[in-house]
Structure 1
Amino acid sequence: MTTPDKKADFSDVNVNVDTTAQKVEKADFSDVSVNVDTTAEKVGEQTYTVEKGDTLSHIAKQFYGKSSKWNAIFEANRDQLDDPDKIQPGQILKIPAAND
Structure 2
Amino acid sequence: MTDVFWTEERIAKAEKLWSEGLSARAIADIVGSKKNTVINMAFRHRDRFPARQGPRRRGPYTPTKPTHYPDRVTRITTSGASVTMPRVPTIDGPAPIILQIATGEEIQ
TM-score (norm 2): 0.29
Please identify which structure carries the higher helix content. Answer: 2
Name the TM-score, length of structure 1 as normaliser.
0.31
